[in-house]
A and B are shown apart, each in its own frame.
Chain A
Amino acid sequence: MSRAAKLVGALALFAVGLAAVAATVSLLRPAIAPERATGMPSDKIAELRTLAPGIDVLVIGGSRLLNGFDPAQFATETARLGQPLRAYNLSLQRLLLWEQERMLDDALALPGLKPRLIVLEPCVGLGIAPENFTHSRTIEFERPAAWWRAVENILGSDRSPAHQLWNVATHTVVLGLHLTHYGLLSERVFPAPRGLNPAPAGALGFEPKPDLPAGAPPDPWLADLIRRLPAEHAAARTEDLRLPPTMRRHFERLTARIRARGTQVIFLQPPQLAFTTAELRRLTHAFPRDFASVPAGPPVLSYLDPTRYPEFYDARLWADYNHLTASGARVFTGALARDLAEISRRPPAR
């Protein structure tokens, strides 16, 4: 037998062994793993289910909102402003576009949930760079339909064909891993620490980042970023930039779906000090103009302008270039409460 034939044969037999384990685990699954431990997304949906009838505002974004928006403070602030609104923070670390859609679908399917406002963060970065997924969560969403959404977004991005091909391959392999029960039994054999450091009661999905120690100087690098930010913001030219069509369709689809329920949709760009790529910076700045400037487009609350919102751009409020500390979250939530209370007084745009 030639060496090539032997290699092909070995790979085929390897796949047989792998499939045998997958089949065995599938057969035994009801006995050994009756419920899949799905982690944060399911936990959040489960908590939201218990709170659903009382929620007025649903916030679905990435880590900037996960660490930056405190629904408990929001409720207090909006009540003080005479427009009481109770919110739930359904944001996730590294939220991908198709995960956002999935979270929205799961939330809207909850009985009794009738939010007046749904606030979406356009996480364009994770739309164009889906290799940044978190395995444990992606698995939950990796069903054929979600896989196709991922592929659609990847092929619609303006990455190079090689990059797109790699991302499609990665997601396809992740789907394959899911089918082979990737990580399914780990918590059966190695129990995960649950409840040791539970989120504080009443956090409503908010996960604050710790403040700097008392008296500690702010990170000089962040201070430098903030000093340079006004000039960079002013120089961010986006007139010629359009969102990738699939990304645009994604946001249009979400907008239409939310509005069909009689709910108002708002896109929210939280403050940010830096971007990992120039492409991400351009797309983020292009979003409000390109997407929301259309007739009857959804409102976009953008806090990216350091000149307009100087209160956010203080290095002591930042845990890193992307995330506010708990003190920063207090300032941001206060501003958001004022703006959303104002918007919720107006008749919704259709």
Chain B
Amino acid sequence: MIFTELRFLAFFLGVFALNWMLRSRTARHLVLLGASYVFYGAWDARFLGLIVLSTLADYGAALLLERPGATPRLRRFVLGSALTLNLGVLGLFKYYNFFAESLVAFLANFNVTVSQPTLQLVLPVGISFYTFQSLSYTIDVYRGQLRAERSLLSYALYIAFFPQLVAGPIVRAIDFLPQLARNPDIRAVAWRPLLLLFFWGYAKKAVFSDNLAPWVDAFFAAPQTFDTASHWLGVLLYAAQIYCDFSGYSDMAIATAGLLGYQLCLNFDHPYVSTSPREFWRRWHISLSTWLRDYLYIPLGGNRGTPSRVATNLMLTMLLGGLWHGAAWTFVAWGALHGAALVVDRWWPRHPDSTGKVHTALLGWIITMLVVLTGWVFFRADTFPDATRILAGLAGMMGGDAALPPIFWCHLAGAFLVQLAAARGVKLARPLENLSWQGFAVAYGVLVGIALTLVNTSYRAFIYFQF
């Protein structure tokens, strides 16, 4: 079940009605937890067991961590066990075949032949997201930054809350559990901004991402047939597609949670206007980048230590960030590229007089976009040879005669200007938010009507479900 499906609308309306009809906080939590399991089970009920296992393990681990008299040694053991379980399950389902195949291929270089013990494992949707949520909770409790949650119901709901269960944002327990301790008030719901956010997320996914997808697929299936300009356009279209797809999901997730009375964190903040790689990572998949910062980069030593140590920390963080996205070396390369860019960015000489100047920002934006686009080539390509062929095509060193429709340049320019305006604080939706409720209802109908005429009617899953 995904947000753009008709059955999700029916599902959500039912959950929404029940949630607000009930007065008791516990009853609401029970409804939301049941709905979350139904939502996840609609994909594959077998993997509900993994969520329950992760929930029970981290719930219990946190209580043990806070047990009076728990020695540091016991606490370390409990934390280690919880991390091993979570990462073990993630590793088994997501990375086992990747590492087994890589090992076999590596040994083959030395003429050592071993049989490939691959398993036919299905990747449970959303496993990377909820595993990171569980990990952050246990680590926060271990660090003493968060009290262990006594209510199993609240903790289970934190892990499984359906708006963000399968594709984020990665919610921190420290942000979400306190919300569950309160009973949301329907009068506090900001209906108009949330409905507009849901609409905008839907439009990004169903209108923009899905309509760009056929061209992106066509380009990446046979890039050698396209001319140089189309190579650039193809990669730019993919950049637009993945942004609209993922940020569209996040927008709908935030809006859906908001309509039920809960707040999720911002996940995207106009990333393509960034003028440096560091800024890009403050704007792209914010919940992941902050997670990596707090639970990986800083524990590794963060900014402390020698420049080479800091550079190593940055590279390691981004390499693992790349691997988080998928079990393939192309994702590792994507992470390595961004890691290297962050290292260069950190020690890039900046003249104080140039700060805030238009030409500096423009140069920074161009360099950042080159890094980001090169990264997307690795991210989208199936293999390294495919990626290198596309990079050669971007450099004009290979290609054919086929061309992508030039109209897409206009679409991209328009979309970028809207992003730029929004990033500069122009509130494009404010006139709609200021309408009377009657005017808003009509305007919303018009917006939905326009979107419906423009949607791509072929079903497409969200790209980030695979991660």
Question: Which residues of A are in contact with B by a Cβ distance under 8 Å?
Answer: 6, 9-22, 25, 131, 134-136, 139, 166, 169-170, 173-174, 177, 180-186, 189-193, 196-197, 220-221
Complex: how many Å from CA A14 to CA B199?
13
Jot down 18 A-B pairs with beta carbons below 8 A, ordered by A: A9-B438, A10-B441, A16-B442, A17-B449, A18-B449, A19-B449, A20-B446, A20-B449, A21-B449, A134-B459, A166-B10, A181-B453, A190-B211, A190-B212, A190-B411, A191-B407, A220-B120, A221-B120
CB neighbours of B448 from chain A (8 A): 14, 17-18
Q: Which of B120, B218, B407, B438 lies in contact with A193, CB distance below 8 A? A: B218
Given contacts A13-B441, A14-B441, A186-B457, contact A181 B218 (CB under 8 A): no
Name which residue of chain B comes closest to A192, CB basis: B214
How far, in whole Å, are A170 and B438 apart by their CA atoms in the complex? 28
Q: Does B8 contact A (CB under 8 A)?
A: no
Nearest to B212 among chain A residues (CB) is A190
Q: Which residues of A contact B6 (CB under 8 A)?
A: 170, 173-174
CA distance A114 to B405 in the complex (A): 41
Q: Are B454 and A183 in contact (CB under 8 A)?
A: yes
Cβ-defined contact, A17 with B455, below 8 A: no
Q: With a CB–CB cut-off of 8 A, which chain B residues contact A192?
A: 214
In the bound complex, CA of A170 to CA of B9 (Å): 11
Whether the pair A17, B453 counts as a contact (CB closer than 8 A) is no
Any A CB within 8 A of the CB of B111: no
* Cβ-based interface call for B452 (8 A): yes
Question: Which A residues are CB-close (under 8 A) to B218?
Answer: 193, 196-197
Q: A14-B442, A17-B442, A196-B218 are in contact. Are A186 and B454 (CB under 8 A)?
A: yes
B453 touches A184 (CB 8 A): yes
With contact pairs A135-B459, A180-B449, A181-B452 given, residues A14 and B444 touching in the complex (Cβ less than 8 Å): yes
CA distance in complex: A180, B438 (Å): 21
Interface assignment of B456: CB less than 8 Å from any CB of chain A: yes
> What are the residues of chain A within 8 A of B446 when measuring CB–CB?
17-18, 20-21
Of residues 403 through 457 on chain B, the ones whose CB sits less than 8 Å from some CB of chain A are 405, 407, 411, 437-438, 440-450, 452-457
User: Assuming the A-B contacts A170-B6, A190-B211, A191-B407, are A20 and B453 also in contact, with contact meaning beta carbons closer than 8 angstroms in the complex?
Assistant: no
Chain B residue nearest to A137 in the complex (CB): B457
B438 cross-chain contacts in A, Cβ below 8 A = 9-10, 13
Q: Does B221 contact A (CB under 8 A)?
A: yes
Residue of B nearest to A196 (CB): B218
Q: B453 contacts A182, CB within 8 Å?
A: yes
The 5 A-B pairs of least Cβ separation, nearest first, read A17-B445, A21-B449, A190-B211, A13-B441, A183-B457
Are the C-beta atoms of A183 and B452 separated by less than 8 Å? yes
CA separation between A181 and B453, bound complex, in Å?
Answer: 5
* Residues of chain B contacted by A15 (CB below 8 angstroms): 445
Report if A180-B441 is in contact (Cβ < 8 Å); known contacts: A139-B457, A193-B218: no
- Residue B354 at the A interface, CB < 8 A? no
Starting from the known contacts A136-B457, A182-B453, 13 additional A-B residue pairs (CB-CB under 8 Å) come to A10-B440, A13-B445, A17-B448, A18-B452, A21-B452, A22-B449, A180-B449, A183-B453, A186-B211, A190-B211, A196-B222, A196-B402, A197-B222
Is B262 an interface position by the 8 A CB rule? no
Overall SS of chain A's interface? helix
Q: Chain B binding site: helix, strand, loop or mixed by DSSP? A: helix
Given the interface pairs A14-B445, A17-B441, A135-B458, the reply to whether A180 lies near B453 with Cβ below 8 Å is: yes
In the bound complex, residues from chain B placing their C-beta under 8 Å from that of A9 are 438, 441
- State how many angstroms separate the Cβ of A258 from the closest Cβ of chain B: 31
Q: Is the CB of B458 within 8 A of A17?
A: no
Residue pair A135, B211 in contact (C-beta under 8 Å)? no
Residues in A whose Cβ lies below 8 Å from that of B465: none
Q: Are B221 and A183 in contact (CB under 8 A)?
A: no
> Contacting B445 at CB < 8 Å: which of A20, A134, A135?
A20
Q: Given the known inter-chain contacts A14-B441, A16-B442, A197-B222, please indicate yes or no for A191 contacting B455, CB distance below 8 A.
A: no
Could you say which residues of chain A place their CB within 8 Å of the CB of B458? 134-136
Is A6's CB under 8 angstroms from B437's CB? yes
- Most B C-beta atoms less than 10 A away, residue of A11, A21, A169, A180: A21
B36 to chain A, nearest CB (A): 20
Q: Which residue of A has the minimal Cβ distance to B404?
A: A193
Which residues of B, 1-50, contact A by the 8 Å Cβ criterion?
6-7, 10
Q: How far is the CA of A135 from the CA of B411 in the complex (A)?
A: 25
Report the nearest B residue to A139, measured CB to CB: B457
Which B residues are in CB contact (< 8 Å) with A166?
A: 7, 10
Chain B residues whose CB sits within 8 angstroms of the CB of A173 once the complex forms: 6
* B176 lies within 8 A of chain A by Cβ: no
**Contact at A185–B215, with CB atoms within 8 Å?**
no
User: Roughly how many angstroms separate A175 CA and B437 CA in the complex, as a whole number?
Assistant: 29
Q: Which residue of A lies closest to B448 (CB)?
A: A18
Taking the nearest CB of chain A, how far is it from the CB of B100, in angstroms?
14
Q: Which of B440, B442, B445 has its CB near the most chain A CB atoms (within 10 A)?
A: B445
Docked CA distance A173–B9 (Å): 12
Chain B residues with Cβ under 8 A from A169's Cβ?
10
Q: Find the A residue at minimum CB distance from B439.
A: A13
The distance in angstroms between the C-alpha atoms of A116 and B13, with both chains bound, is 52
Query: Contact string, B386-407, partner A, CB cutoff 8 A, digits 1/0?
Result: 0000000000000000100101
B407 cross-chain contacts in A, Cβ below 8 A: 191
B10 CB to closest chain A CB (Å) equals 8
A16–B120 Cα gap in the complex (Å)?
52
In the complex, chain B residues 350-366 whose Cβ is within 8 Å of any chain A Cβ = none
A131 to B10, CA, bound (A): 14
Tell me, rounded to whole Å, the shortest Cβ–Cβ distance linking A280 to chain B. 18
**Which residue, A17, A173, A177, A181, has most C-beta atoms of chain B within 10 A?**
A17
Contact for A183 among B212, B215, B447, B456, CB less than 8 A: B456
| Cα distance A221–B207 in the bound complex, in angstroms | 37
Which one of A11, A174, A190 contacts B456 once the chains associate, using CB atoms below 8 Å? A190
- Residue among A16, A136, A181, A193 with the highest chain B CB neighbour number at 10 A: A193
Chain A residue nearest to B442 (CB atoms) is A17
Query: How close is B20's CB to chain A, nearest CB, in angstroms?
Result: 10
Partner of A177, one of B214, B452, B454: B452
CB distance from B14 to the nearest CB of A (A): 12
Which residues of chain B are near A221, meaning CB under 8 Å? Answer: 120
The residue in A173, A174, A190, A197 that gathers the most chain B C-beta atoms within 10 A of its C-beta is A190
Which residue of chain B lies nearest to A185 when distances are taken between CB atoms in the complex? B453
Known: A135-B458, A136-B458, A220-B120. A189 touches B441 (CB 8 A): no
CA A11 to CA B6, docked complex, whole Å? 17
Contact of B221 among A6, A184, A197 (CB under 8 A): A197
Residues of A within 8 A of B10 (CB): 166, 169
Expressed in whole angstroms, the minimum distance between the Cβ of B361 and any Cβ of chain A is: 31
Q: Which of the listed residues B221, B450, B453, B456 has the most CB atoms from chain A within 10 Å of its own CB?
A: B453
Nearest Cβ distance between residue A12 and chain B, in whole angstroms?
Answer: 8
